[in-house]
Every structure is written in structure tokens, then in C-alpha cells.
Amino acid sequence: MGRQNWKAGNMLYPLPAVMVSCQRPGEKPNIITLAWTGTICSSPVMVSISVRPERYSYEIIRETGEFVINLTTEKLVRATDWCGVRSGREFDKFKEMGLTPGKSAHVSAPLIEESPVNLECRTEQILELGSHHMFIAEVVGVDVDERYLDKNGKFQLNEARPMVYSHGEYFGLGEKLGSFGYSVRKK
């Protein structure tokens, strides 16, 4: 078998499928599902999300400068998909999906209580790149569900059964194949 060369496209998979929550003062909270999100640096702690300007959440995030990235799990896969294909202009996504808006410690945007990890973010810069605009943000707080802390207080994210998005489909992570540095660790 040979290889084919295709036109340029976004084929960087799998990706985390996250639910980003946001809210204007005095209005209902909203959720947008995104797979175009990532880590930028660890000091200061910064992340990015890329959003199409025509999306309902875009103006909310742009105006408030705040949002929460909520990690998703296998249990949240239906809500994750639904919040990505329905508009907050027409639906109260928290209500429709039975999700609980929680109080964030550092930003006014709510977190999603059912998520095992919530990254509270403040926008530092917006890059208008074409079809999507990238919000570069500082992580100003991290909220974790205590159910996933072991007896020593170590967070066990994999116990929450996170999921990913790959080429139009959602998947659980599957079996552990190794851990960071295992290939060079002395036996």
C-alpha cells in the first residue's frame, strides 16, 4: 500500500472534547462544545480555545473576557455532543441537558458541576485567524471533583473516564499503554 497526499486540512486527532461555559451578567449561562483547545504554557498557566465568530458564545466570551473549560467524560458524551450542535440563542443548555451551573472561585462564568475538572480562564488576547478566532487565556483557578482524589490527595483523572473526539466520533481513552518516561526508566 502506498500513501496519498490530500489537500491541507485539520487532521490532528484525537482531541479533547470540552464544554466551555460562559455567561453575561444577568443572562442565562451557556455552554459551547469545542475540540479546538489546547495548552499553551505552564508558567504562567495558559490555554487556548478557538471559536467561530458567528457562534452564540463567541460574543459572550469576547465581552466578558471569561470562560470555564470543563473536561468531559464518557457519562457526559451526550451532553457534550448536544451542546455542540444546538445554539444557546434557542436553548438553555444547562436545563436541557440536566447540568448544574456551579459557582466559580475566580471568574463570573459558571462551571459545570458534573465535570471532573474545571479550568477558570481569563482572556489575555484574541487572535483573529480566519474561520476561528483564538482566545488565549490565563488559567486563574482549577476546580476538581473530590470524588477523584485518592487517600493521599492525588487526583486520579482517569477514574473519571475522560473521552476524546476523533474525526467526527467520540471515544473513551481505552487501556493504559505506559506513563511519562517509561521508555527510559531503569528496571
Question: What's the full length of the chain, in residues?
Answer: 187
Mind listing the pLDDT tens digit for each residue in 177-186? Answer: 898 898 898 8
Mind listing the pLDDT tens digit for each residue in 66-89? Answer: 999 999 999 999 999 999 999 999
* d(C-alpha 115, C-alpha 21), whole Å: 11
Domain residues of the chain, as ranges?
15-172
Residues 115, 19: contact at Cβ < 8 Å? yes
Give the DSSP letter string of 145-178. -GGGB-TTS-B-GGGG-BEEEETTEEEE--S---
Mind listing the pLDDT tens digit for each residue in 131-174? Answer: 999 999 999 999 999 999 999 999 999 999 999 999 999 999 98
Instruction: Give, in words, the CATH class of 15-172.
Output: mainly beta
